[in-house]
Structure 1
Amino acid sequence: MTDTLERPVAGVAAVQRRRRSWDPVAVGLRLWGIAVYVFLFLPILVIIAYSFNTGRILAAWQGFGFSAYTSAFDNVMIRNSVLTSLQAAAGAAVLSTVLGTLGGLALARSRKGNRWAIALTAILAITLVTPEVVTGVSLLPWFVSLGTDAGFLPMNNGMVRLIISHTVMSVAVVTFIIRARMQGTDLRLEEAAADLYAGKWNAFRQVTLPLAFPGILAGALMSFTLSLDNTIVSSFVQLPGSTPWPVYIFSSLKVGLRPEVAAVSTLMLLLTLVALGVVAFVLRRTGSDSQEIAATLAGE
């Protein structure tokens, strides 16, 4: 009797599963999502493919080869612009990570309704929503006034200008990531370290810093990639001899893009993916799962 009743129920469940699996709305949404992702990432794949173009112009495919990579390494201007971008990104990552760590820890430990914390959060939020054109126009006369009028010679250095301007653009991101990371931690851990006669520096080094390390690493990666991608502000503040890679590409549009541009762009994309992989590996070694890694990189 029980078997007789279970068979119709199992048959109805199988029919419902088949209907759900062939739901036209669900299938349409999946196809639409796939189409959106293809539309977004197909240009990147095209650039990677055309980096192996042996022709003189990027858009005209002539044949498969590695001549674009060898020509890029032999071009002094390309090498200098890539090196400038990497140096500026590394400097901005270090400076913004130090400032963002201090700011993020201070905001995470501040009491709710603290005026200076509200003011700092508002200032950082304003830097995020300010158009880059406005930031570039504001920084340029400031650097000129300090370097030329006030005689502060470091402001006449193109690399110093790039690092400072990129730090201004990315310090808010690092601060919010670290604040989000530290807001969920237990303050009693630091209090326990103080009860065990640990000084403020030892408590920070052995308790606070390891807790904030995933956020610090994610913030450093974000600031590094934001600096590599910065074009508008860099075009305002850069000086002759310190032209970063995005500005070089922007200037190359006037005469037509060459396959060397696609080759170097592919290498920098690989560099970014490797950096992301290193961050994920380190976070996994610290015991974080995939959801925590994604939340840390998103600043949640």
Structure 2
Amino acid sequence: MKRRTDPLTVLLGVLGILVFAFLFLPIVVILVYSFNNGTLLAAWRGFGFDAYSAAAGNSVIRGAVLTSLTAAAGSALLATVLGTLGGIALARSSLAQSKSVKFWAIGLTVLLGLTMVTPEIVDAVSLLPWFVSLGTDLGITPLNNGLVRLVIAHSVVSIAIVTFIVRARMQGVDQSLEEAAEDLYASRWHAFWQVTFPIAAPGILAGALMSFTISLDNTIVSSFVQVPGTTPWPVYIFSSLKVGLKPEVAAVSAVMFLLTLLALAFVAIVLRRTGGSTKEIAATMTGG
């Protein structure tokens, strides 16, 4: 006896396909048009690799890409260090009996949550006068450096993301594991590196990757806090809209998209080798 096909199931399947097509077709178009030999991105003039060679020979594009990668690496490092400490602290606070510990843990969680939901334009408008006041008025000269500004600004949201991912990874881990290591004459530092860090490592790696990719994609905050000579790649693309996008933009975007996919695949492989299932990998990557 044949099973009847539920019309609602078919409709939901079709809608799902349409949604995925709407989301991913623009990426496919950019990948295709990165091989456009024309002078403008929207005008197809034949298949070739002229856009890639032109992008490689353009010093302004190379500088913008290098600025983005450097700022992303710096913000990922800063966010990973601070977010890891915050995530482990929040995970351990759930096991604490002290009301004061639970109070600051709730306050930190609320603060980080507000950081994640605050519109980027609000962050940008807030950070710019802060950098100017500290860098110019108070004479803290490192804050006048464009890369330093980008690293700090991009880390604002990334710290919250890493914290929640690491907390989700460490939630429910028995603290007696470290205590057992200390009973075997391990110092707190060695107990952390040999017990806590290997358990938290997949979450730390996932948080670092997300921090890196979020920094690469940051346009609004970057356009406010940047200084001349340190223009990141997204801001370069945004400014290029005034004169028309060229195929070089699509070529560099395609390369960075592929690098992001490789990074995601690398993290998935690491999480798989630590014994995680597909569901656990998704939960670790999203902080669930």
TM range (shorter): over 0.9
Q: State the match for 1:294 in structure 2.
A: 282
Residues 1:35 and 2:5 are matched in the alignment? no
Distance in 2 (alpha carbons) for counterparts of 1:125 and 1:159: 26
Residues 1:281 and 2:269 are matched in the alignment? yes
Q: State the match for 2:168 in structure 1.
A: 180
| 1:68 aligned partner, one-letter code | A
Alignment of 1:1-300 (within 5 A): 15=1, 18-20=2-4, 22-110=5-93, 111=96, 114-300=102-288
CA deviation string 1:158-199 (max 9, x = no partner): 000000000112100000100111013222212221222221
Distance in 1 (alpha carbons) for counterparts of 2:39 and 2:110: 50
Deviation for aligned residue 1:74: 0.6
Deviation for aligned residue 1:59: 0.7
Distance in 2 (alpha carbons) for counterparts of 1:278 and 1:221: 10
After TM superposition, the score normalised by the length of structure 2 is 0.96
SS of structure 2 residue aligned to 1:79: helix
Deviation for aligned residue 1:267: 0.5
Which piece of structure 1 moves more, 79-88 or 179-188?
Answer: 179-188
| 2:129 aligned partner, one-letter code | P
Which piece of structure 1 moves more, 113-122 or 94-103?
Answer: 113-122
Distance in 2 (alpha carbons) for counterparts of 1:23 and 1:139: 53
Deviation for aligned residue 1:289: 2.3
| 2:274 aligned partner, one-letter code | T
Deviation for aligned residue 1:43: 0.6
SS of structure 2 residue aligned to 1:19: coil
Distance in 2 (alpha carbons) for counterparts of 1:101 and 1:95: 10
Q: Which runs of 5+ in 1 are unaligned?
A: 1-14
SS of structure 2 residue aligned to 1:184: coil
Distance in 2 (alpha carbons) for counterparts of 1:118 and 1:236: 32
Q: State the match for 1:6 in structure 2.
A: none
SS of structure 1 residue aligned to 2:163: helix
| 2:287 aligned partner, one-letter code | G
After TM superposition, the score normalised by the length of structure 1 is 0.92
Count of residues in Structure 1 that have an aligned counterpart in Structure 2: 283
Distance in 2 (alpha carbons) for counterparts of 1:27 and 1:120: 45
CA deviation string 1:41-86 (max 9, x = no partner): 1011001000001111111111000000000011111000000000
Moved over 6 A (4+): none
| 2:200 aligned partner, one-letter code | A
Q: State the match for 1:10 in structure 2.
A: none
SS of structure 1 residue aligned to 2:221: helix
Question: What is the CA RMSD across the aligned residues, in angstroms?
Answer: 1.1
Q: Which has the larger radius of gyration?
A: 1
